[in-house]
Chain A
Amino acid sequence: MRRRAAGRLIAVVAEATQYIQRHQNNSTIPDRAMKLTSRYSVLFTAATALVALVGCEQAPAPRFHLNPVVMVSNEISPEYQQEVANVLAAMFGTPDAPYALPESGLNQQRLTLAAGAAWSDKQGVDRGLYRKHCVHCHGINGDGRGPTARFLNPYPRDYRQGVFKFKTTFNPAKPTDADLRRVLNNGVPGTSMPSFSLLTESEVDALLEYVKYLSIRGEMETKLAQYVYDELGEAEKEDENGNPVLDEDGNPVMERPPFDPATNPEQGEVVKEILTEVMAPWQEASDQVIVPAEDGIPEDNRTPEEIGESVAKGRELFYGTKANCFTCHGPTGLGDGQQNDYDIWSKEQKAFQDATAQLQESIVSQQKEIARLGREGKETDEEEAKLAADEATLALRQPVAHSFYPIRNAIPRNLRKGVYRGGRRRLDLYCRVSAGIAGTPMPGVGAAAPGAQGTLSDEEIWNVVDYVLNLPYEPASNPQPALPWNSDQIAN
């Protein structure tokens, strides 16, 4: 069974690659275009030739683009980029014709309903749901860079890291289908993410399937790029005895092993393994649901005194160092504590920008060093070679670094507003507090995995939830039982 699945995967990759090769051998436009495009622009046009198969619209069919941050940080050459794009196309198809690879466990029918251009068929069934409802924010790649994205705060989610915030599972786990459905039905209150509660159930199912598809595709892309960086790449050619092959001048001959799982069974096996790694957490999501202890769940019919007692305990925890909420959410819950940090989406871009700026500085000091060595009459061949390589890398990095929207800090929520992005049910807040909010600085205080020991007990978490729900009604001037001693230093 598994072997057959792998065979299918290899076969699919083979078909796509053959198709692309045929296409290129015919010396049609893509081929010439490929030659003309500069090293850098290949990144953004890394076309999946398969698109042409299904493009029946007037306008050029939208294509998936490679993730420039992933490609440039892993130093993936244009040739390898094309090959990664080919493999992704073979596994996932195109925005117009998504392919549910059997191993991915995705549902082909749902994907087909969600994908493609927006139109209604003869029966009046809406098609192309993602492009109709989501693409202007989340983008064709699911990178959160649709045309409206730049103007929104928070920015629409980039699905490609496979990390979701508002879910009932433990911090590192994927959301369940029910979690994604809840987000689509309720939207994300307090952000531009609208509610899609007016769509039919099957439409919502199709859309959540498509979100998973883009997410899995994005995770796959990153892992494939890492594989290419780690295991492939230009290397010295060796003869049968493992000795380097030399050219006429005695220099080692270099060769580039292609990334082509269709013809290379070992690579086929690796691609299959990576897909299994990516899929496993999605398949296990339903085993990772947080279930508060039955006997700890507060009753609905508590007396005001009982609630008051719980709120008081929660307040003490909130402003104490054990739960430590106040350090981020501030001495009065306004969200004005630690505001200097970033979420993982911003961190990825910030790290990329910082490394680019560092490289630029390094180039300046290298130039100075070469000038100094030159004045002393010393050899600088090696230094100049490194400088040239760094300058080439900088030329690749800069346009990517400049393409980001302004990077924003992750601001802890103002809890006095009583708007909860992940839902206002007590259970929603229990999950937020217990698991933290994945991808953001907010840590969890409950068990980190099934059966693990949390920093706070179940009861304490419910106390904190009661306090959070009470916070909007608590006068801001209310003296805090444990006012942080440095509160005067925190700007309001």
Chain B
Amino acid sequence: MSSNAFRRMCTVFALGAAVAVSSTAAAAEWGTVKGKFVFKGDVKPEKIVPNKDTEYCSKHELVDESVVVGDGGELANVFVYLNPGRGKKLEVHPDVKPADKPLVLDNHGCRFEPHAMTVWTADKFEIRNSDEGIGHNTNASMLFANPKFNEQVTNGAPILKQFTKSESYPSKVACNVHPWMNAYVLIRDNPYMAVSAADGTFEIKNVPAGKHDFAFWHEAKGNLKDLKVGKDKADRKGQLAIDVPAGKTVDLGVIEITPALLGK
């Protein structure tokens, strides 16, 4: 390769970097996105029969939490989050502040509480063990951008973590002593994310106005490919471009989730 061609390569590379930076435009206005997930099918949560700490854990009538549905089909634990694309940063509304206290993932009643949660990298994250006299470990070896960990957690001595990077997807967290225990934690470097509550609803406030890709994810399937949202359809990655007008709330209404969509 001639030195000329080599220099050309370098120039091209420098241009590329400049383009990437300028695409983070300033946003001074904000909107809200909300909606509700409803599951169109039957689920019979499977009973879990503990094979460790059986006496204590059996008291808690544990069930498989991979699909949690309310009486009216309300689907909990669906993750919705804004995906600005690789390496792009988003502005944060001045009123949106990290939580005063660490967000808690508790080992409680031989399950994780909550089962699904979001953590902004500005937040602190704490792992507790409230099961008196029961030993738990918390294994996060499915983290990719942040350091993995697998630690013993004992009563009264919580583990404090601070993450620094966005994970692309919710990460599974497990307890190896009680292998039925798992939870999903979505770690992002922006606060634009939510998990649907027990009533199936979610709301993401103070989103920078404009068109953004939102990802829809559920643990039973991962990306909710081809999810129908109103008249639109999420792409093969379970993402949908949503226009968020300034000062407005985009209500996506009832989003129906079929068993096939969750791979059932």
Question: A233–B178 Cα gap in the complex (Å)?
Answer: 39
Given contacts A233-B236, A322-B154, contact A448 B13 (CB under 8 A): no
Name the B residues within 8 Å of A201 (CB-CB): none
For chain A, the bracket of interface size reads 35 or more
In the complex, the answer to whether A448 meets B134 with C-beta atoms within 8 Å is no
A-B pair count, CB < 8 Å, reads 151
Of chain A, the residue at the smallest CB distance from B261 is A386
In the complex, the answer to whether B10 meets A441 with C-beta atoms within 8 Å is no
Q: Using a CB-CB cutoff of 8 Å, which residues 1-41 of chain B contact chain A? A: 1, 5-7, 9-10, 12-17, 19-20
For chain B, the bracket of interface size reads 35 or more
Q: Using a CB-CB cutoff of 8 Å, which residues 326-357 of chain A contact chain B? A: 327-328, 337-338, 340-341, 344, 355
Q: Using a CB-CB cutoff of 8 Å, which residues 1-19 of chain A contact chain B? A: 3-4, 6-7, 10-11, 14-15
Question: A436–B149 Cα gap in the complex (Å)?
Answer: 9
Given contacts A327-B135, A338-B179, A362-B260, contact A444 B20 (CB under 8 A): no
Of chain A, the residue at the smallest CB distance from B14 is A3
Question: A273–B259 Cα gap in the complex (Å)?
Answer: 39
Of chain A, the residue at the smallest CB distance from B150 is A443
Name the B residues within 8 Å of A15 (CB-CB): 1
Q: Tell yes or no: A229 within 8 A of B by CB.
A: yes
Which stretch, B47-55, B73-81, B97-105, B201-209, touches the partner chain A?
B47-55
Question: A170–B188 Cα gap in the complex (Å)?
Answer: 24
Given contacts A269-B20, A324-B137, A449-B147, contact A337 B14 (CB under 8 A): no
Name the A residues within 8 Å of B6 (CB-CB): 7, 11
Q: How far is the CB of A255 from chain B (nearest CB, A)?
A: 14
Given contacts A365-B264, A366-B260, contact A324 B13 (CB under 8 A): no
Of chain B, the residue at the smallest CB distance from A489 is B54
Q: Tell yes or no: B148 within 8 A of A by CB.
A: yes
Question: A320–B155 Cα gap in the complex (Å)?
Answer: 12
Given contacts A226-B168, A266-B19, contact A455 B154 (CB under 8 A): yes
What would be 5 A-B contacts, judged by CB atoms less than 8 Å apart? A171-B148, A328-B177, A438-B148, A443-B139, A486-B54
Given A362-B260, A443-B138, output 16 extra A-B contacts at Cβ < 8 Å. A6-B10, A10-B12, A11-B5, A230-B86, A230-B168, A265-B16, A273-B87, A321-B134, A324-B177, A327-B135, A340-B51, A362-B264, A438-B150, A455-B152, A456-B152, A486-B52
- Using CB atoms and an 8 Å cutoff, list the residues of chain B in contact with chain A: 1, 5-7, 9-10, 12-17, 19-20, 51-55, 85-87, 133-139, 141, 147-155, 157, 159, 168, 176-179, 226, 236-237, 259-260, 263-264
